[in-house]
Amino acid sequence: MDVDDTPPSTKRRAAPKVLDSKTFKDGAIYLYRRAEYKKPTWFIRLKIPGAKGYVWQSSKTTDEYEAYKAAEDLYNQSLVRVLGGGKLHSKRISDGLKAYVTHLEPDRERLSIHYKILLAERLIPVFHGKTFDEVLSFSLQMFPSGESFGQAAKNDKQAGEIKKFIEDYRSMLSTEVLGSGQFAFKAFLIQVGNHQSADALPIQFLQHDKMDDEQREQFDKFAVAVKWKTVRVANDNLMKPKDVIQRVARATKRPFSQYDHRMAWKRHKVRPDGKSSTPEITDSKFCVYDALGKGYGYTEAWVHLLIDEINNANAPANPPQPVESPA
């Protein structure tokens, strides 16, 4: 990933004469200024975990903070690429297109080859400086806009170039190819609101809690699909000790006290003692520690275990509850 437009050299890069330097992220980001440059521009050298070699690039700024921001952004982008299985030094698309044109050049007189060469030559400046890894994956973003594609092309120079390329490309295609769904990838831009055409059916997603009363009344006039968002409450299926005690006593029709419950969780070792330094170490099948509430919640399985144990008379007898003698 060199910053110039020439392919990376296969020769070992000569060590630059460094005027001063800064190191960040344990050496992964290295900023330096070169002595042979009159303008004190910061340059970037990155070492990406899991990748061979370095990434070299100019920060294009003399400000150290801006240079670090550029280096950190480049580091994160490079790291994501490597973790996703990509390469740091991918081939440039323009080089591939030039090689493609050179390969086809001997047959340029053939009409079909001539069109392929014209298309490749048109694409070379479009993909100037881009690598294959950079364009093989892309995100499609949708956002509300009142502009049509034609309006956007007039207001944006880059969009205008894209529109012109699309029109030129379509003019080169035959009617059979242009009308075939086999080669088509279509994206429809639908402007929602103030529709005058009966050919389009707008679908709009609204947040019910952010609408006013007048907007809510509109629901009675249309067929509306509603999706309610359910926010899960943490530990909503757990019970407090008093709830466990009541459930067990009611199901077994026998006395079951807080003391009996304490002896039960100690006997089954479902949780540590109250003075433990590691309260989170529990048997999660029966008990879960709540760090926010500083307490324990018990599961339905724990209640069933106690009920079955008492009904089957398998529980060992608890020692007598200590009684404080009067002073």
- Residue 280 placed within a domain: yes
- Residue 197 placed within a domain: no
- Residue 181 placed within a domain: no
Contact 279, 221 (CB under 8 A): no
Same domain, 55 and 100: no
Same domain, 306 and 277: yes
Task: Write the pLDDT tens digit of every residue in 163-214.
Answer: 777 777 777 777 777 666 666 555 444 444 444 444 444 455 566 666 677 7
Burial 255-265 (b: 16+ CB within 10 A, else e): ebeeebbebbb
Angstrom distance (rounded) from CA 24 to CA 45: 11
- Residue 149 placed within a domain: no
**Residue 28: which region, alpha, beta or left (left: phi > 0; alpha: psi -120 to 50)?**
alpha
Same domain, 48 and 101: no
Task: Write the pLDDT tens digit of every residue in 280-325.
Answer: 888 888 999 888 788 899 999 999 999 998 888 755 555 555 554 4
DSSP class of 264: H
Same domain, 79 and 43: yes
**Residue 189: what pLDDT?**
47
Q: Which two tokens stand for residue 175?
A: 């009617």
| Count of other CB atoms within 10 angstroms of residue 100 | 17
- Residue 191 placed within a domain: no
Same domain, 246 and 305: yes
Same domain, 36 and 70: yes
- Residue 13 placed within a domain: no
Same domain, 266 and 289: yes
Q: What is the pTM of this model?
A: 0.32
Range of the domain at 98: 93-135
Contact 281, 272 (CB under 8 A): yes
Nearest to 308 by CA among 255, 226, 230, 252: 252
At residue 70, φ and ψ (nearest 5 deg) are: -65, -40
Higher confidence at residue 226 or residue 89? 89
Distances (CA, A) of 51 to 46, 70, 83, 122: 10, 20, 9, 34
Q: Which residues lie across from 42 on neighbouring strands?
A: 33
Same domain, 99 and 46: no
Higher confidence at residue 173 or residue 48? 48
Average pLDDT of the segment spanning 141-155: 58
Average pLDDT of the segment spanning 254-273: 91
Residue 241: pLDDT over 90 = yes
Average pLDDT of the segment spanning 17-42: 86
Identity of the highest mean pLDDT range in 91-105, 167-181, 216-230, 233-247? 91-105
- Residue 193 placed within a domain: no
- Residue 301 placed within a domain: yes
**Residue 170: what pLDDT?**
73
Same domain, 27 and 74: yes
Average pLDDT of the segment spanning 8-32: 75
**How many domains does the chain contain in total?**
3
Say what percent of the chain tops pLDDT 70. 63
Task: Write the pLDDT tens digit of every residue in 203-222.
Answer: 555 666 666 777 666 655 55
Nearest to 42 by CA among 72, 13, 8, 14: 72
Residue 268: pLDDT over 60 = yes
Give the pLDDT band (50/70/90) at residue 40.
Answer: confident
Same domain, 109 and 78: no
Same domain, 41 and 79: yes
Give the pLDDT band (50/70/90) at residue 7.
Answer: very low
Distances (CA, A) of 107 to 95, 99, 120, 122, 174: 20, 14, 14, 18, 20
